[in-house]
Structure 1
Amino acid sequence: MRATPSRLVRLAIVVGVAATALTGCSKDTLAQQYGDGTTKNYVSGDGTVTEIKPADRTKPIEFTSTTDQGKSISRSTYEGKVVVLNFWYASCPPCRIEAPALETLSKKYASQGVQFIGVNVRDEADTSRAFARSFKISYPSVVDTADAKVQLALAGQRGPNATPTTIVLDQKGRVAARVLGEVNENVLDTLVGDTVAEGK
């Protein structure tokens, strides 16, 4: 289900800010090329936001996978908590641009039990770790390149149809919201905050 008209108005206010900040938010070469519109052969989402009302959500997604640090991680570990999945890879320009916003929000919501998890769809573990060091990402990332366990867990649901994609899971592990393409910090803040509030 698409976002309601009132929500679209709220979210649209911040989209213009994102567009204005796009070329000035990073000194990263790939990100700058993307901001200048000069990146060739790159397909990404357009930032479309989809929200799903609790009554319309389907079954919880379940996965157990391995992080780039070699640790096992499962969605069920966070039962009762909101989980934010961000699908990315290191050379993806919008992934690089949105990285600081994701880190900021992961810290903001940590005290409310929200868990951010990166899902690397292309790189090996060493590249994923290098990205985390470069962009100072503190939350874990799953290496989903070989077995695609996380991507397959979303089969038949509102999955990651572009890179990057950010998916918010509610306290029961069901898809509550999705952003296809580069996420705006204020938009994701609203989506996560609203989902957290559902459990109060």
Structure 2
Amino acid sequence: MRFILSVLFLLGSFISLGQKPSFSKPSINLDIDSLFEARKKEAIGKPFPVFKATNETEKINNEILKGKVVLINFWFEGCPPCMAEMDALNELYQRLKNNKDFEFISFTMDQADAIKRVRQKFKLQFKVFHLKDEECNRLNQAFGYPTSIVLDRSGKITYLVSGGATDKDKAREFILTKLLSEITKVL
């Protein structure tokens, strides 16, 4: 009898594994991607938040950047997609560095030792500014990392993209095609 009950129990377990769950779907289906897209669209055309930042050699703020097309990139060392795009960002900087109407700055919440490691590893040529976590997140507008923002000459956001590939070749393709194209549209 015990044997028959055990077999029935096991058989019942196997049958129930093949069944679809009986709970119902929530009535509100939140699509996270569409929420982020809506927030990005809302940011386009608005002024970039007011800020001040300093690094070892210079100070920067919204007023200093007025009249220039600006690429702002947010990153941190522990972010694989951020690191995957560093070589391509250097290449993009090299292509545009002689254009007096263009400025490329990057913001990170990383401390000086991490910034130094990343600068050395990738031979960063663009400007890097450390910001406190709260300030970095405020300016990044909680879009995640990496985030690249293109500003027009009046300081308004014309393009915003967050996230990225962990594959260096895919990151390079995106930066040197789509991101460069978005910058040159407003140059």
Bin for the TM-score computed over the shorter chain: 0.5 to 0.7
Letter in 1 for 2:59: S
The equivalent residue for 1:84 is: 71
Q: Is the 8 A contact 1:61 1:173 kept in 2?
A: no
Query: When the two structures are superposed, what TM-score results if normalisation uses the length of structure 2?
Result: 0.64
Q: Higher helix share goes to which structure?
A: 2
Count of residues in Structure 1 that have an aligned counterpart in Structure 2: 144
Q: Is the 8 A contact 1:144 1:151 kept in 2?
A: no
Unaligned 5+ segments in structure 1 are: 1-44
The equivalent residue for 1:119 is: 107
Describe how 1:44-123 pairs up with structure 2 within 5 A: 57-67=45-55, 69=56, 71-112=58-99, 113-121=101-109, 123=110
Say which one has the larger Rg. 2
Work out which of the residue numbers 115, 135, 142 in structure 2 matches 1:128: 115
The equivalent residue for 1:144 is: 131
- Residue 150 of structure 2 is aligned to residue 164 of structure 1: no
Following the alignment from structure 2 to structure 1, what is the Cα–Cα distance between the partners of residues 158 and 90?
20
Q: What SS is found at the alignment partner of 1:141?
A: strand
The equivalent residue for 1:40 is: none
Following the alignment from structure 1 to structure 2, what is the Cα–Cα distance between the partners of residues 114 and 138?
14
Query: When the two structures are superposed, what TM-score results if normalisation uses the length of structure 1?
Result: 0.61
CA pair 94-62 structure 1, distance change in 2 beyond 3 A: same
Unaligned 5+ segments in structure 2 are: 1-32, 166-170
